Amino acid sequence: MNTPPLLILATLAFWGWQTGHLVYGILAGCLLESSRLVKARWSLTQADFNRLCNVCAVLFLGVGAFLAFNEGTVSFNDFFVNAGRRPEAMRQAGRSALYWFQWFPMIFLPMMVGQVFNERSKMGLATFSWWLRRQEARDLHSKLPREELDVTYAYFALGLLASSAATEHTKSFYYGVALLMGWALWPLRTRRYSVVAWSAAFLIVAAGGYTGHVGLIQLQKKLEDMNVRWFSRFSGLGFGDKESRTRMGAIGNIKGSDNIALRLRTDGGPPPELLREASYSTYFQKVWNNPPVRRAVGSVFPESDQET
């Protein structure tokens, strides 16, 4: 591997710590770092790497489908028909996507193992392109560039991306990411500037990134605290405070769900006895609305104490 020693192990351990899979992260990291000590190597061909890529693609799609059908209990109607279930459907879909991202290092681990234990420690570009594979099958590969690449740094970035998919983050998360990034960039630093100048520039960038990191966390909390009515405005299926159309005379589904549709934060005070989203004053042809009130106001004169 062309990454610094123990960097992949530290990255996978950090991934396991953030996502709750510390044992898997340490075992996978030790397996990959052992290639520096084990001298035995495989002689994998391009066809072997193509098969490894196909295996990882099947795992990629299979894990995503498994999480979509087993972790979530939402349907198509919950997203586009039932406005009351849409916020919960969005939350469950988000949780499934986060779990999917968290397992990326394990999904692509077979391809990484194949590279680090191969004789050349690289794989051809055809591994990631089915078009190049078809060209090679037609014996036209001699006209194409036979470039190879090492994906260890890409796998390092994938580990950091999967670490960021954890449900909860503390300050230690950003400190860990900054430390790993500095560790990875240290061998690639330019020799034109001194170590002090490079370290100062890195600290400035890290401090600016931390400011953006805190801002994104606050933005996320703001979005999570917004009313469910905010989400319904984008669908066009929610209610309006000026008009609401009823379905009297039509047969509908009985709403017997106990799902949470709205959360109220009272900041320590007692909650109100009644939560009202809107009120209407007139009803005409299955439509409740609030017509503008027009009142005739006459002249107002002060009362006189003396009778005229």
What are the sequence ranges of the domains in the chain? 7-167
> Which phi and psi (to 5°) does residue 186 adopt?
-60, -45
* CA 222, 226, 231, 236 torsion-angle sign: negative
Residues of the chain below pLDDT 70? 1, 70-91, 137, 139-146, 167, 169, 224-258, 261, 273-278, 285-286, 292-308
Q: Which of 185, 168, 154 is nearest to 17 (CA)?
A: 168
* Average pLDDT across the chain, whole number: 76
pLDDT of residue 192: 86
pLDDT of residue 20: 87
Q: Which residues contact 271 (CB under 8 A, 6 or more apart)?
A: 264
pLDDT of residue 172: 83
Q: Which residues contact 21 (CB under 8 A, 6 or more apart)?
A: 15, 102
Give residue-wise pLDDT tens across range 96-154: 788 888 899 999 999 999 999 998 888 888 888 887 777 776 765 555 556 788 889 99
Q: At what angle do helices 171-185 and 7-19 cross, to 10 degrees?
A: 160
pLDDT of residue 247: 53
The residue to which tokens 């990882």 are assigned: 56
Q: Which residues contact 33 (CB under 8 A, 6 or more apart)?
A: 5, 6, 8, 9
How many other C-beta atoms lie within 10 A of the C-beta of residue 306?
4
Amino acid found at 57: A
Q: Checking phi first, is residue 207 left (phi over 0); if not, alpha (psi -120 to 50) or beta? A: alpha
* pTM metric for this prediction: 0.64
How far is residue 223 from each of residues 98, 218, 226, 293, measured CA to CA in Å?
17, 9, 5, 35
Residue pair 10/180 in contact (Cβ under 8 Å)? The answer is: yes
